[in-house]
Amino acid sequence: MAIFRSASGESGAEVVLAVGNPYGSRTLVVERDEDASVAYLCSPDGTVHGAVWLANHRPAPAVVDLARINSGLPPLMPRPNTLRPEGRRPLGQLSALWFEEGDGVALYEDDDLLAVIPGWADMSRGMPGYARDAVGESPFAWTLSEALEGLEPRIANARSYWRWRHSEGSWPSFQQFVMGHLDRVLGPAGRYWDASGERLPTVGITERPPHGKRDYSVLSTVGMSCQRMPTVEQWIDKPGAYARIELAVATREDPRDAALLLVWLAQYPWHSVTWLGHAHTARWYHEPETFPLGPRYSGVLMLADAPHMPDMSGFAFGGEAVRWLWLTPVTAETLDTHD
């Protein structure tokens, strides 16, 4: 059975809202026809990652309308699974609030919470989003009220985060905060590069030349920890200890070469909707001969608390400790053993 197939308007449904997350990696699309409304969480290529029924606009059928589903139209919720079996008027003014990570979204109707599609929603596994008017657990929506205990803190955090992030001076103050920490643990700063271009998240790279007994340069990202990484909660029981990172690399060669590794990975979690952690690997995206640290390597291994590297601990943001992951170049053979 095809469920929530459209997300394009091509099936005769009308797109009434389409809004992307701040990182350009997910779009919330709300479609409706005369009979029902539904919301989709899509990637830029149109893949639907999550979907939730929102409302029937005519009396609910007794059972699932399979013909309607198979034609790609927004599903009608069966009578036992809706608070409004008689149907309701078309939706009012809609607005979206993205989670800090960008992988989940709350949908509002006239400032009232209408639905939530969390990052772990997965239609292929029978896990839709939550809807205000849904009853119980159906393939189309789960009851929102029963999930609010867990969702409300996430929504409140998202609202306060974006209010802060869009306020004047938020980025310079955060940047100064990180740079001050690095001054204490690594010594004075050298050059600084922007690694974000025109896209969020904003990330820079700071160079720390040899200092004291340290005879090598250290480069670190500045800004990855300003927002939590997506999907961590799907893999880690206590994501708060792993959701915020910065990356670092040590080199005795030209620091500009090592900086290219940080440019490569600095925005990756948010644009690819994934996370980076201890013992993770990343395979260089281009021809091997272009790898910044030499053609004998094909990617990097990420290590927290790497041996013989400076202790970077002691920095926190949003009430959560930030972990520095050290990048170590590795060969194709090493990458193959980790895949």
Same-domain check for residues 147 and 175 = no
Q: Is 156 part of any domain? A: no
Pair 138, 243 in one domain: no
Task: Give the pLDDT of residue 2.
Answer: 43
CA-to-CA dists, residue 301 to 19, 31, 297, 330, 334, angstroms: 35, 43, 11, 6, 9
40 and 129 within one domain: yes
For residues 10 and 30, what is the distance between their CA atoms, to the nearest angstrom? 13
Q: Are residues 209 and 124 in the same domain?
A: no
Asked if residue 189 is part of any domain, the answer here is: yes
Give the separation between CA 327 and CA 186, rounded to whole angstroms. 17
Do 194 and 106 belong together in one domain?
no
Q: How far is CA 19 from the centre of its chain?
A: 15
**Which structural domain range is residue 246 located in?**
168-337
The reply to whether 308 falls in a domain is yes
Establish if 2 belongs to a structural domain. Answer: no
Q: Which of 119, 151, 183 is the last residue of a domain?
A: 151
Tens of pLDDT along the chain (339 residues)?
A: 345 555 554 567 899 999 999 999 999 999 999 999 999 999 999 899 999 999 999 999 999 998 888 888 889 999 999 999 999 999 999 999 999 999 999 999 999 999 999 999 988 888 899 999 999 999 999 999 999 999 999 999 999 999 999 999 999 999 999 999 999 999 999 999 999 988 999 999 999 999 999 999 999 999 999 999 999 999 988 888 899 999 999 999 999 999 999 999 999 999 999 999 999 999 998 888 899 988 899 999 999 988 899 999 999 999 999 999 999 999 988 888 877
Q: Residue 184's Cα: distance from chain center in Å? A: 31
So what's the pLDDT on residue 1? 38
Q: Let me know if residue 157 belongs to a domain.
A: no
How many domains does the chain contain in total? 2
Q: Is 100 within a domain?
A: yes
Residues 202, 304 within the same domain: yes
CA dist., res. 125 & res. 66, Å (int): 19
Instruction: Write down the pLDDT at residue 8.
Output: 55
Helix, strand and coil in the chain, % to nearest 5: 25, 30, 45
CA distance 114 to 106: 8
Measured distance CA(277)–CA(325) in Å, rounded: 7
Which domain-ending residue is among 82, 117, 151? 151
- Dist CA 260 CA 54 (whole Å): 45
8 inside domain: no
pLDDT of residue 6: 58
Q: Are residues 136 and 220 in the same domain?
A: no
Residue 57 belongs to a domain:
yes
The DSSP output letter for 65 is -
The pTM (predicted TM-score) of the whole model is: 0.93
**pLDDT for the residue 157:** 96
Are 179 and 306 members of one domain?
yes
Among 125, 151, 177, where does a domain finish? 151
Write down the pLDDT at residue 239. 85
Kindly state whether residues 19 and 45 are assigned to the same domain.
yes
Cα separation, 153 vs 151, in Å, equals: 6
Same domain? For 327 and 203 the reply is yes
Sign, CA dihedral 161-162-165-168, equals: negative
Whole-angstrom distance, CA of residue 132 vs CA of residue 141 = 9
Tell me, what's the pLDDT at 126?
84
78 and 227 share a domain?
no
Residues 25 and 109 in one domain: yes
Query: 289 φ, ψ to 5°?
Result: -70, -10
